[in-house]
Amino acid sequence: MKQQGSIIPPHVLIFPGPGQGHVNPMLKLAELLGLSGLKVTFLNFQFIHDQLLLHADIEARFTKYPGFQFKKIPDRMSVPRAERPEDMADIIKDLIERMKTSSKTLKKILVENSPPIDCIIADMLMGFVHDVAKEVGIPVIPFENASSCSFWTVLSIPRIIAAGELPIKGNQDMDRLITTVPGMETFLRCRDLPTCCRVNDLADPKLLMITNETRESQALILKTFEDLEAPILCPLRTRYPKIYTIGPLHELLKTKLRSIKKQESYSSLNPLWEVDRTCITWLDNQASHSVLYVSFGSIAIMTREQLMEFWYGLENSKKKFLWVIRPYSVTTNDDGVEEIPEELQEGPKERGYIVKWAPQEEVLAHKAIGGFLAHSGWNSTLESIVAGVPMICWPCFGDQQMNSRFVSEVWKLGMDMKDVCDRKVVEKMVNDLMVDRREEFVKSTARMAELARKSVTEGGSSSCSLEHLIQDIKSMSI
């Protein structure tokens, strides 16, 4: 506790979940808080911390903020690679369990850290951080990494169960409407629920794994913006009275950097993967809106058969495409070798370009991009929205199932290809997105992009929310 009138800036500890899609947005939040003069400690499990600091530019970029430090939890921890798409839910469940074993180490860090920590911002996926912080008396503001629509549905699972709307009774039951999630009564089907709901048995631990991590709190940080999810934020505020909607974070950071430094100084961060920038040169030589960008995020995995359906669907569509095929994103054979067929290893001829990892924010903002075939990860969805790029959604797990339903049914920003992987459907949807229904989608994506950009300008909802968050953190340290 500091003395009244203290001019020492508050010290915030930020602790993201261990994955690209979790670390990246929280690093952006860390920079935003650093920019506003707060002292920030960015804590990670050792394997993430080591990867981060492999990049000299990351250290240089952040240590210019006074008091900024990277810190690690020196416990052994890693995220195993999924062998099959259906393994994802178990991997996440095990990870949540294993992270709890670091409670003791975390407690030591929180108690001994100098300067003392005034406030913690922790990923909602890690309930143990909230418990340890409570024990040592440090306030925590949870950071929800998924969309509000997904989070609200997760919170509503007990209500769905009580109404007898779960479990799902096999494949034939997937299109049944779920009527007990406030705000979604008319369009939410069983197949749109977060994947933890895809169980036959209510006692399956996967069903409640994420709900169990959720902690009650007065406050909550969401990387969304008011105009996008207002109808869902309303009921959510009955559970979390103080919600800070500060998305899209990359756009907010870009705008703040510009306004402070009066110049374009934002570069996207890609701390955990080596970016292949040759794709930008390739895009520079393509016609406006002629290329479909294809990427399924940082964790999802697909089978060899699914890969081939996408390959033939893309080839047969006769549209140009830039495709990210991440290492280990395809199932391996018995010898542990990825099952990438020869025709694909040779690469597409002049119509396509394949990379292992792209500078995605830059790609989506490129004038050559006309559509995005995506897995509906929440970061990717927001990046596509800001860039005004329509989407074909092929969700793989978790919140992606919900995001894709909202993209297609609620926001009308694209199409949902959920649970289907067929070359003919891929071909048809690509042509719909890029040609036949292009006008319709461009109208709605342009409108939403404008609202997203408005939210991060001075006086916009996300910009104001960030200011409130900073003021509230400052008041915690007095």
Q: Hey, which residues between 348 and 387 contact ligand UDX (CB under 6 A)? A: 357-358, 360-361, 377-380, 383
Among 20, 306, 384, 463, binds ligand UDX (CB under 6 A): 20
Q: Is 299 near ligand UDX (CB under 6 A)?
A: yes
Q: Is 400 near ligand UDX (CB under 6 A)?
A: yes
136: alpha, beta or left, given left = phi > 0 and alpha = psi -120 to 50?
A: alpha
Which one of 65-73, 103-111, 293-301, 333-341 is the stretch in contact with ligand UDX (CB under 6 A)?
293-301
Among 36, 214, 270, 401, binds ligand UDX (CB under 6 A): 270
Q: The tokens 């969805």 sit on which residue?
A: 381
Dihedral of alpha carbons 209, 210, 211, 215, sign: positive
Among 295, 306, 463, 465, binds ligand UDX (CB under 6 A): 295
Q: Round to the nearest angstrom and report the end-to-end CA distance of the chain.
A: 7
Q: Taking the complex as a whole, how short is the minimal distance between the CB of residue 334 and ligand UDX, in angstroms?
A: 27
- The long-range contacts involving 454-457, CB below 8 angstroms and separated by at least 24 positions, are 454/227, 455/225, 455/226, 455/227, 455/247, 455/248, 456/225, 456/248, 456/251, 456/252, 456/254, 456/255, 457/255
Shortest Cβ contact with ligand UDX: which residue? Answer: 377
Cβ–Cβ < 8 Å for 35, 282? no
Q: The tokens 């830039």 sit on which residue?
A: 322
Decide whether 298 or 465 has the Cβ nearer to ligand UDX: 298
Q: How far apart are CA 289 and CA 346, in angstroms?
A: 26
Q: Taking the complex as a whole, how short is the minimal distance between the CB of residue 363 and ligand UDX, in angstroms?
A: 8
Decide whether 10 or 377 has the Cβ nearer to ligand UDX: 377
> Residue-wise over 205-241: b if at least 16 C-beta within 10 A, else e?
ebbbbbeebbbebebbbbbbbbbbbeebbebbeeebe
User: Is residue 439 classed as helix, strand or coil in its secondary structure?
Assistant: helix
DSSP state of 410: I
Cβ–Cβ < 8 Å for 92, 19? no
Per-residue contact string for residues 58-97; x = within reach of ligand UDX by CB under 6 A: ----------------------------------------
**Known active-site residue 130:** no
Among 22, 93, 405, 453, binds ligand UDX (CB under 6 A): 22
* Residue 18 token pair: 């261990």
11, 22, 49, 375: the catalytic one is: 22
Q: How far apart are CA 89 and CA 124, in angstroms?
A: 17
Q: Hey, which residues between 91 and 130 contact ligand UDX (CB under 6 A)? A: none
**Known active-site residue 22:** yes
123, 192, 399, 432: the catalytic one is: 123
Q: Hey, which residues between 142 and 161 contact ligand UDX (CB under 6 A)? A: 145-146
Among 390, 398, 414, 460, binds ligand UDX (CB under 6 A): 398
Q: Is 404 near ligand UDX (CB under 6 A)?
A: no
| Binding region for ligand UDX (CB under 6 A) | 19-22, 24, 145-146, 270, 295, 297-300, 324, 357-358, 360-361, 377-380, 383, 398-400
Residues classed as catalytic: 22, 123
